[in-house]
Amino acid sequence: MFNRISNGFKIMSSTLKFVFRKPIFLIPVLFALITSLLVNGVIIFTVMDQTLTDGEYLGITFLMIFISSFFISLAQLIILELLEQHETDGDMRLGKAIGEALSRDLLRALPIILIWSLIQFLIQLLDSMVSGGENGRRSILQQIIHRLLSGLRRGLHWGVMLIMAALAWEDIKPKEAYQKAKKVYKEHFMEMLTGISISALISLLFVVPVIIIILAASYGTLVVGPVLLIILLVWFVLVWCLGMIIEQIYTAELYLWYKVYEDAVEAAKANGEAGPSSINDVKRPTFFDDVPDMVFQNRNKKGTQINT
């Protein structure tokens, strides 16, 4: 168990280094954030003066969740295509990654996006029904329920990111991608749990400066002007984007590690040899080095092979 937790820390460390070395990943994530905010903003502006029934309100809520999930998933697919380029020839071309994500991956990802949107909607609905307190205040039990639901959503989202990796890197259907992602999640459960915990901690550390500014402003020791508000907005956007990129690359590396192990077992069986008994018997691939860990023989049928 401790070895797997250590693996989680190592992967997160290399992921952080890789993200700061390759700022190109910010482009699709910023696009997803801005586009989803604009589209959802238009929806809110359109219906804000209308009297909605409960059904209409729920329908609009689901639509907004789907829109956000759609653009975020598209950004994740683009990130995965960039990673594939990096692990094959070392270059990352954004235009090609966008083209591959739109023409090859997005259609197969749509059922996953729709199901994930529905799950988020149900979690949000359950949260509002169970943990909504009077006058915006929650009891201790309601706070616990809220945190449990938030943790459930986060854990499921990491599973969705594994599914996206399967869809982007292999020519398989959504159901098969789900099955493979489930295997990886089970195999790497401790690494996933470690990654989720570290990611939450990093997000908290990023928010600390904002908390200090808010506290200083509340005690009157700091005047919050337009410039500071803009800085805070940019900071929040940067933190959100970095968090999403780090989580996607982290889960992608876990998926790649499992795929390399899977291929090693298959290669050993084909040669009549004894293959690795566990995933730890296979060298962990990393995006941070200059070693290409993915070789695709045929672009129409993707298959990850061990780089020798």
Q: Is residue 287 part of a domain?
A: no
Domain extent for 73: 11-281
Is-contact 115 147, C-beta < 8 A?
Answer: no
**Rounded-to-integer distance, Cα 4 and Cα 220, Å:** 47
**Rounded-to-integer distance, Cα 258 and Cα 81, Å:** 18
Q: Is residue 292 part of a domain?
A: no
Identity at 153, one-letter amino acid code: R
Say how many C-beta atoms besides its own lie within 10 A of residue 292's C-beta: 13
Q: How many domains does the chain have?
A: 1
Taking phi first (over 0 means left), then psi (-120 to 50 degrees means alpha), and beta for anything else, what does residue 136 get? left
Q: Is residue 4 part of a domain?
A: no
Q: Is residue 286 part of a domain?
A: no
Q: What is the pTM of this model?
A: 0.85
Residue by residue, pLDDT tens for the chain (308 residues) are: 556 566 666 667 777 777 778 889 999 999 999 999 999 999 999 888 888 888 898 999 999 999 999 999 999 999 999 999 988 877 889 999 999 999 999 999 999 999 999 999 999 999 888 866 555 677 788 788 888 888 889 889 999 999 999 999 988 999 999 999 999 998 888 888 888 887 777 777 777 777 777 777 777 666 767 877 788 788 888 888 888 888 898 899 889 988 888 888 888 888 888 778 777 788 878 777 666 666 543 344 454 443 43
Closest CA to 187 of 215, 159, 146: 159
Is-contact 3 280, C-beta < 8 A?
Answer: yes
Q: Is residue 294 part of a domain?
A: no
DSSP one-letter string for 46-104? HHTTS---HHHHHHHHHHHHHHHHHHHHHHHHHHHHHHHHHTTTS---HHHHHHHIIII
228's CB contacts (< 8 A; 6+ apart) are 213
90's CB contacts (< 8 A; 6+ apart) are 290, 292
